[in-house]
Amino acid sequence: MTNDLLGRHRAVLPDWLALYYEDPIEITHGEGRHVWDAHGNRYLDFFGGILTTMTAHALPEVTKAVSEQAGRIIHSSTLYLNRPMIELAERIAQLSGIPDARVFFTTSGTEANDTALLLATAYRRSNTILAMRNSYHGRSFSSVGITGNRGWSPTSLSPLQTLYVHGGVRTRGPYASLSDADFIAACVDDLVDLLGHTRAPAALIAEPIQGVGGFTSPPDGLYAAFREVLHERGILWIADEVQTGWGRTGEHFWGWQAHGQNGPPDIMTFAKGIGNGMSIGGVVARSEIMNCLDSNSISTFGGTQITMAAGLANLNYLLEHDLQGNSRRVGGMLIERLRSAAAQVPAVREVRGRGLMIGIEITRPGTDEADPKAAAAVLEAAREGGLLIGKGGGHNTSSLRVAPPLSLNVAEAEEGAAILENALRSIL
């Protein structure tokens, strides 16, 4: 059955539509932190549909809200007043920390970042964008043009002029050997020098922790230092919170808050987990930025009632059950457990991250040379052991990504760590 489905997949879908595993699996259902495939195999899910199933599979509160809303009305577009959309926008505006915030809903992170770029370039009347090396911001024509990860940017054509800034990866590049304070200072000096050689950019867009890039991040405070330089010149700061938002990092509700000494970003994008699997993305911005467009617009499927009902139920559950705190506690334990296991595996260059957002970088032992084959072997071995994880990285996809639903408990974290330890040992 699976082989037949794989053949049908290959016959009608693009060759570049990636599939995990040499023998791809069909996931048929899930519950809590577990999923099952078409053969009845049960897996502990440490990737949650690329961080989209943020809370839990088949969370009763969300499925109930979706079912009840579907019984009333599923969709009407933004041309009519929409109570669930307004209610969720009110909650997100308040949580964003952005003063006089306005919220626009989309259907994905790609579309959210595309909208943020439209707002920034229109507001600033500039098509120059600053972006981080090793970054990823989506698959639309504009967002691949600012993606600093070669493996995820299929064309050099772009409506934007993009300039790439140092700082998104702490342990690689020309400043890797510096202390955190000197690293930040060097990156700021580089930014100032870059700005002296170009027309005024519209914005800097940055992921507080780079997702597809392998869960890499700069020292805390880098983007606060950048913001000081940008603010002096009127350049906007866009925080791409598609993967870091909603308490995943444990220490903060938003990833930007680790760099928030100078206040919130001018624009923030979100997506992935807020709908717990339902398709929700969005942009939050100060009112004068959001309202700068001088033409009509709507969102056909952004903010539709059924996805907004899911988002409201999921956000309520997240806050009422302190899943941010759970991410900090269980994630902290998990990362230390994985660091201990990785210390016995020479191919592991680094275990990094915070909360339930953990990256494991695989290289050829004793070098900084990426080893994507070894990383793929660990991914396969983990699946054989009953654990689903992800992969990424800016160096030939050699980083493993661990991002379980935020309701993960200690016993499940221990179980997953043991499976992953065995998988890592398989490449010794």
Asked if 188 contacts 223 with a C-beta cutoff of 8 angstroms, the reply is no
| Number of residues written out for the chain | 428
Please write down the HEC assignment for all residues of 76-90: CCCCCCCHHHHHHHH
Q: How far is CA 290 from the centre of its chain?
A: 23
Q: Does residue 311 register a pLDDT over 90?
A: yes
Quick one: 217 and 80 in the same domain? yes
pLDDT band at 397 (very low <50, low <70, confident <90, very high): confident
Same domain? 314 vs 173: yes
pLDDT higher than 60, residue 284: yes
Last residue of a domain, one of 287, 320, 353: 320
CB 177 within 8 A of CB 210: no
Give the model's pLDDT for residue 395: 63
Check residue 2 and give its pLDDT: 66
Residue 9's domain comprises 2-58+323-425
Residue 159 and residue 28 share a domain: no
Stated as kind and residue range, the H or E segment containing 270 is strand 267-270
The total of structural domains in the chain comes to 2
Give the pTM: 0.95
pLDDT category at 38 given cuts 50, 70, 90 is very high
Q: Decide if 33 contacts 56 (C-beta within 8 A).
A: yes
Residues 37 and 89 placed together within one structural domain of the fold = no
Same domain, 331 and 185: no
Q: What CATH number did the domain enclosing 206 receive?
A: 3.40.640.10
Instruction: Output the pLDDT for position 235.
Output: 98
Q: pLDDT band for position 386 (50/70/90)? A: very high
Site of tokens 């302190």? 322
DSSP code, position 365 = T
Final residue before a domain boundary, out of 264, 296, 320: 320
Both 312 and 329 in a single domain? no
Q: What is the mean pLDDT of the chain?
A: 95
Integer Cα distance of 300 and 79 in angstroms:
8
* Residue 393 pLDDT greater than 90, yes or no: no
* Bridge partners, 387 (sequence order): 44
Mean pLDDT, range 206-212, rounded to an integer: 95
Name the percent of the chain lying above pLDDT 70. 99
- Contact at 8 Å (CB) between 312 and 304? no
Q: Which CATH number do you get for residue 356?
A: 3.90.1150.10
pLDDT band for position 420 (50/70/90)?
very high
CA distance 95 to 98: 8
- Quick: pLDDT tens for 118-141: 999 999 999 999 999 999 999 998
Same domain as 381, residue 279: no
Confidence class for position 86, pLDDT limits 50, 70, 90: very high
| Structure confidence at residue 261 as a pLDDT band (50, 70, 90) | confident
Note whether 335 and 288 are same-domain residues.
Answer: no
In this prediction, residue 212 has a pLDDT band, given cuts at 50, 70 and 90, of very high
Tokens of 317: 């559950």
**pLDDT in the model for residue 3:** 74
Same domain, yes or no: 81 and 162? yes
- Note whether 76 and 43 are same-domain residues: no
Domain check: are 284 and 221 in the same one?
yes
Whether 359 and 211 map to the same domain: the answer is: no
pLDDT at 1 over 60: no
Domain boundary among 292, 320, 348: 320
Q: Look at 262 and 40; give whichever has higher pLDDT.
A: 40
* Across 235-239, average pLDDT: 98
Residue 240 tokens, joined: 């791409």
